[in-house]
Amino acid sequence: MAEGNGLAPAPGTGTEKHRLRYELLGCGLHGHHLEGTGARRVRPDDALLVREFAEGLRWHRCLRCDAWLPLPPPARPEREFPPERDEITLPLRGKPLRDRYVLRLIALDRLLHFLVLGVLAVSVLVFADTRASLRAPFYRIMDVLQNGVGGASGTTRHGLLGDLAKAFAARSSTLWLIGLVLAGYALLEGVEAVGLWLTKRWAEYLTFVATTVLLVPEVYELSSRVTPTKVLTLLINLAVVVYLLVAKRLFGLRGGGRAEAAERARDSSWEALERVLPGPV
C-alpha cells in the first residue's frame, strides 16, 4: 500500500517530504474518507476511488490523504456501483484544510473569552442588583479582618479589600454599564467563535476588525505595566490579525476572495485528485 505524494508540490521535488500533512491529521481525528465501500461491482471508470485487483479484495482510496486501504467487497451491497462524482462531497485538502484548523483554534480562543467575560458580566450584574443587601455584612467582615491583624477600622484603599470597597462605593448606574459592556463583549466573542468554527467569511472580517480595535488598549496597558499575560495576549492577537489579513486575503489583499476560491479549487477538487493519482503497489 502506498500513499499519495501530496497536493501542491510536484512528485519528485522533495518539498512534499517536509510539508506538514494536515490531511493525515484530519484522517487521524475523523477516519479515512472512502467512497464506494458498499458497491456490488467496480467499473474501470471508478479507478480514482476504488480498484479491484483480485477476487475478494478491493483497494479504496482515501479522498483526503490519498492512502489506499484494502477492504473486502460488502457482504450486503448497498448499491450496484460506486457513487458518481456529483454524488460525492469532497473533503478539504491542502491549504483550505490547514486554514480550517487554524480558524478553529482561533475559535477556541474566542470561546474561552466568551466564557470568562460571560461569567464576569453575570457577576457584575448580580452584584449591582444585590449590593444594598451585601453592603453591611461586607463592612462588618472587613472591620473584623482589619482589627484581627492590628489594623485600623474602616475602609482600605489597597488590595482586594480596597477593590471591593470601591465596588460598593460605585454608582449603581456605573456597575450596570460595566456589566452590560462585558455582556456585549462576551456576545461578540461568542459570535466570532461560532462563525470561525463554521469557517464563515464574515466571521473572519468581524474577528479582524474587533481584534484590531482591541490592540490599542492592549498596547496602552503595556505602557503602564508590563506583565507576561499582557505580552502573551498582545502577541496572540497580533498573530491573529496578521494571519487573517495575509493568509485569508481579507480586503482584497493577495487577490482577495477570488484567489482563495481558486486555491480551494486547486487543492480540494476532482482536478486535484486526478493531478495526484497514487496507486497501491
Q: What is the pLDDT of residue 6?
A: 38
What pLDDT is attached to residue 21?
81
**What's residue 13's pLDDT?**
36
Contact between residue 128 and residue 176 where contact means Cβ atoms under 8 Å apart: yes
What was the pLDDT predicted at 131?
75
Q: Over its length of 281 residues, how does the chain's per-residue pLDDT go in tens digits?
A: 444 333 333 333 344 444 558 999 999 999 999 999 999 999 999 999 999 887 778 999 999 999 999 999 999 999 999 999 999 999 999 999 999 999 999 999 999 999 999 999 998 898 888 876 666 565 566 565 655 544 444 445 555 556 666 776 778 888 899 899 999 999 999 999 999 999 999 999 999 999 999 999 888 888 888 889 889 999 999 999 999 999 999 999 999 889 988 888 888 899 989 887 655 54
What are the φ and ψ backbone dihedral angles of 19, each rounded to 5 degrees? -90, 135
Distance CA(118)–CA(127), nearest Å, equals: 14
